[in-house]
Structure 1
Amino acid sequence: MSGLAVTVMDYGIGNLLNVVRALQHCGASVRVVECATAVPALPERLVLPGVGAFMGGMAEMRQRGFDDLVRRFGATGRPFLGICAGVQMLFDVGEEFGEHPGLGLIPGRVKPVAEATPAGGSHRIPHIGWSALGRSAARPTWAHSPLAQMPEGESVYFVHSFAPVPANEAHRLADTFYDGVRICAAVGRDNIWGCQFHPERSGEHGLGVLRSFLAL
């Protein structure tokens, strides 16, 4: 897999270094760009990492021209991966600190993780820690996706207070359950993929997610 080219967008509020190191460990040749003008031609693969609030992330994306870059890239059919806040911004609307428009590449909204469990109890928000992945009913196979190497039931690492809620269940690639609360853990629509969890912080199985993305 050596020599695979990946462009990573740096919009000032991402977990950039860990993502870059993980991709390089998986054999990628990584280029980090800080604005869309630094990308004269659309890259082979594009990654949008992120930690932070939806509103601030989208503001930085627009200021740096990355919003238009991502939309144009999405039409190429080439592999795209959003991580954590990076997957949230793919959706129509985020509800953090009010309602704010996203990139609109996957229909749906980004909503707060429920504070109450189905049994009526409470749990800690943000959701932090290791949680197991399961296939969604509408996506019974993870073949030909970034989760192709992921055994169902393995745990990955989450840090988040909000999560995407796809309007179409077919775009819901994987779920996790936090004290019985269903959370969308990964999404996919055509060439657009995203993980609410952090593959770069999820050990060997997380690296498998990045390897599968590079193999798409």
Structure 2
Amino acid sequence: MDLTSMTNHILQQVPAILIPTASDGELVRRYQGFFKKHEDTVIRGFYDLVYSDPATRQHLDPKERPMRENTLRQWYQVTTTGHFDEHYWAWQALVGIVHVKHKIPNPAMLGMWSWMINFIQKGLLEELPANEALDVIQVFQKLQATVCSLIVESYIMTQQEAIHRASGLNQAIMGRFIHIEIDRLLGQGRAILQEKVQQAAMAA
């Protein structure tokens, strides 16, 4: 599957109401002053956390920080222009593939996305009238849903394709192995849930 096909496949699985539109992009562009004002703080704060937290710093070389900051800055600048088109979405799917290459796990990516969205939301609410801030926040929540879907799913699809090519297993057989593992984990989960239900009943 090529990048364009992969991107379209993933987007078709995202509820349409959660995919930013051209009008959403126009709304973001109205607040270029806000985004430019906070650009340096976002970049610095993002990587200060990445390189200080044990969960994320293990995946990155400190010597690469300037290069990585520049990459995030390019992403931030392009994203805040609000041009959410097929090329932008394909770029986000590519990020997931790059994360496979650099062994950046999805939990780390999702956690840092949350940090960034929280930072932007706080600034918007402090500096804009509430109704305007909420409109922009809604766009960024949609952006988070769509971009994270593209990154996570392209990450998974790339790994699955690599396993398929290396093992020669067809999708049906791989599916059976996956369901066996799911059933094993479901058994563990049900036992934990039952224990928690019993504890709650005794405490009530």
| TM-score for the superposition, normalised by structure 2 | 0.25
Q: Which protein is bigger by CA-based radius of gyration? A: 2
Q: Relative CO higher for 1 or 2, CA cutoff 8 Å, sep ≥ 6?
A: 2
| Structure with the bigger percentage of helix | 2
Comparing both structures, which one devotes a greater share of its residues to strand? 1
